[in-house]
A and B are shown apart, each in its own frame.
Chain A
Amino acid sequence: MKIDKIKQIANLARIKFSNDELKVLTKELSSIFDYIDQLKEIDIKDIEPFVHAVGLKNITRKDEVKSCDIDLVNLAPEKKNKLIKTKPIFND
């Protein structure tokens, strides 16, 4: 893996790294992917991917409006009245 690739992944992951951290990560992720790549030696032809351990199928519930007495808004770093406050997500 090259450092530019690591920078691209960090951008997708929304994490700020220092240059030193990026160098260490480049080395570490390379060795981790070398290790993971042993999966390529397994024959997976005609194998259906794993879905669920006990074989549960989709479980649905009614889409109902219920009241909630848990105060989640209060945990937000910034709030205004009963709303979570955030920075603008669209440019002008």
Chain B
Amino acid sequence: MIKKIQFELGKEYSCKELTKKYLDKKDNLNAFITRREDCLKQAEEIDKKIKKGEKLKGLMGIPIAIKDNILVKGTKCTAGSKILDNYIAPYNAHVIEKLKGAVIIGKTNMDEFAHGSSGEHSAYGNTKNPHNLEYVPGGSSSGSAASVAADLTVCALGSDTAGSVRQPSSFCGVVGLKPTYGAVSRYGLMSMVCSLDQIGPIAKNVEDVEIVFNTIKGKDERDSTSLDYKLEDNKKEFVIGIPEDLIKDIDKEIKNVFDYSIKKLEDKGIRFKNIKMDNLKYGIPCYYIITPAEISANLARYDGVRFGMSAKRDDILSNYFETRGQYLGQEAKRRIMIGTHVLSSGYYDAYYLRAQKVRAKIVQDFKNAFKEVDLIFTPTSPFLPFKIGEKIKDPVSMYLADLLTVPANLAGIPAISLPAGEHKGLPVGVQFMAPVMKEQRLFNIGKIFEQC
């Protein structure tokens, strides 16, 4: 789609006309927190370049939506939280610098600070699933996935800490990539879990996701964990592993689509093999120690003193307590509480250290598996999109949404979610995982899968 638009720009329509078409679309999903009307000026600049005969590279001229935890200079950036209701981003994230020439049409709705799997934890109202407005679009990149699926944008950026790009992509029937940890700089992404967060693209097909990824990836001095590596993979024949144990309890509707996907790939000559990865099932309990721990530290910055909303009390302690009590949402507070407890004196060894050791065992499972297979294949979500309100009162059942996506984050490996079918009009996605820095392998298998 991106290549097609760039081919047509300046011939069939101008960038300004294209941008206006997207800005004028009605957002009946509550997918956006901010729409950037002023981006028409950017579009005019692109039109001037086209007139001069400049060749469109990267994402030049392409309308893109950005998750609202990524900083776009001069634009409001809330991360879905009331505590940042007055926050105007003072600089651009690294990915925004990389996107130079793309037209940023808006900032998308999300679970507050990316805590959630349904979009319902946003302080700006929940986003709806474009396939059925009574259902959640998944989360936490709820608005990014929903806006791509409803063609309110051509493509979008999300962030993925436990599945927050892939799970909403699966729920909305679009393609979403969680890159290798470090592939994309986190500079200007509001920190949730520094050891897991990655920015990733969402689009309507694999080719577009690949183009966006190639535009935003690379080393950045301002994120010392960022990496530079060549994307190459010459593998033509794949052996794909299925971690049987991990997927044994998934819903029947998901299993049916998954089994059918395997069959279609087998018909293309791809071999499958069951693999033993006993520790993956501990991914969620492991995640719910590491994550709140890092969150409790990262969200300490919202103190009502330096930026964001403030309760403006007369003494410093009441100011902290009231600001955080008043402006942080329920799930954010819950995670800060869990994290504060697991890091508190006397509990570190029992929780955090133990979780990091379990995480090492999960990483070892992947290392062993990738000696035998080239890719690992699972559904993206263990269940179908659920109704708005269905899981909101039971945190643990909401956390289980990440069962199949969280292992890739814990191991730092790349993974992609692809639309694979549907059940009663609700999309079902499948996921491929590859060894670190092997995104190219995901794009290659993704394109094969799209043609099945």
Which residues does A use to contact B, with CB under 8 Å? 6, 9-10, 12-17, 25, 28-29, 31-33, 35-40, 42, 44, 47-50, 52-54, 56, 59, 61, 70-72, 74-78, 84, 86-89
Contact = CB atoms under 8 A, between A and B. Distances in A.
B30 interface: no
B337 A6 contact: yes
Interface in B399-450: 399, 410-413, 436-437
9 contacts: A10-B337, A13-B336, A15-B321, A15-B337, A25-B334, A31-B396, A44-B354, A50-B359, A53-B181
A45 B56 CA distance: 56
B309 A9 contact: no
Nearest to B343: A12
A50 B357 contact: yes
B307 A75 contact: yes
B340 A39 contact: no
Interface in B343-376: 344, 351, 353-361, 363
Interface in B61-95: 87-88, 90-91
B306 A75 contact: yes
Contacts of B88: 75
A53 B288 CA distance: 18
Contacts of B221: 61
Contacts of B265: none
Contact of B310 (A13, A49, A77): A77
Nearest to B316: A87
Contacts of B309: 77
Given A15-B324, A16-B321, A61-B221, A48 B337 contact: no
Contact of A9 (B282, B322, B337, B411): B337
B360 A39 contact: no
A44 B224 CA distance: 30
Contacts of B269: none
A62 B166 CA distance: 38
The 9 closest A-B pairs by CB, nearest first: A53-B412, A16-B325, A77-B310, A49-B356, A75-B307, A50-B359, A16-B321, A87-B316, A59-B224
Interface of B: 87-88, 90-91, 180-182, 195, 221, 224-225, 227, 279, 282, 285-286, 288-289, 296, 300, 303-310, 312-317, 319-322, 324-326, 328, 333-334, 336-338, 340-341, 344, 351, 353-361, 363, 395-396, 399, 410-413, 436-437
Contacts of A32: 288, 334, 338, 395-396
A86 B312 CA distance: 10
A29 B337 contact: yes
A39 B351 CA distance: 9
Given A47-B361, A77-B312, A12 B344 contact: yes
B83 to A, nearest CB: 11
B90 A35 contact: no
Query: Which of A52, A61, A75 lies at the interface centre, i.e. has the most chain B CB atoms within 10 A of its CB?
Result: A75
B74 to A, nearest CB: 11
A49 B325 CA distance: 34
A78 B312 contact: yes
A16 B322 CA distance: 6
B336 A39 contact: no
A32 B356 CA distance: 18
